[in-house]
Amino acid sequence: MPRYWIAVASREHVMLGVKAGIAQVCHGKPGPLKLMKPGDWIVYYSPVEIFGQKTPCRRFTALGKVDKKEPYQYAMSKDFIPWRRDVTFLTTQELAIEPLIEKLTFIKNKQRWGFPFRRGVFSVPRQDFELIAQGMGVDVT
């Protein structure tokens, strides 16, 4: 039975990951990627457009299925060798979060709806993931 994950990254970084067919989470930490299994689903939420800047995005920006290959390290520079996991991303449309806040069960406090995203990556109930996927124009059932 697959699990459903939300990862958090700037839209700019998500698009680089989509192009490369990889997921990288929590500044390259291996732990969350090792929890993911082949066949799990992942959707990225982007609070901002560009890492380190403040221009808001507040959209789900990419969605894909975790591939069979185990997490691995990739040298982006001599000082930064993050962990990655291969993902097959689907063609989707971006989806604003605001209309979904009241419907998403993993958001307990609707006034402080951004709080769950501070974890960087977390699993969500299937019903929440399907609601997001549907809004992005894909069927994951």
Tens of pLDDT along 32-76?
A: 999 999 999 999 999 999 999 999 999 999 999 999 999 999 999
Of the candidates 8, 21, 24, 43, the one whose C-alpha atom is nearest the C-alpha of residue 125 is: 43
The rounded mean pLDDT for the chain is 97
- What pLDDT shows up at residue 141? 79
Tens of pLDDT along 85-104?
A: 999 999 999 999 999 999 99
- What pLDDT shows up at residue 76? 92
Of the candidates 53, 68, 60, the one whose C-alpha atom is nearest the C-alpha of residue 7 is: 60
Rounded distance, CA 136 to CA 95, Å?
A: 6
Of the candidates 131, 97, 134, the one whose C-alpha atom is nearest the C-alpha of residue 8 is: 97
Share of the chain above pLDDT 70, in %: 100
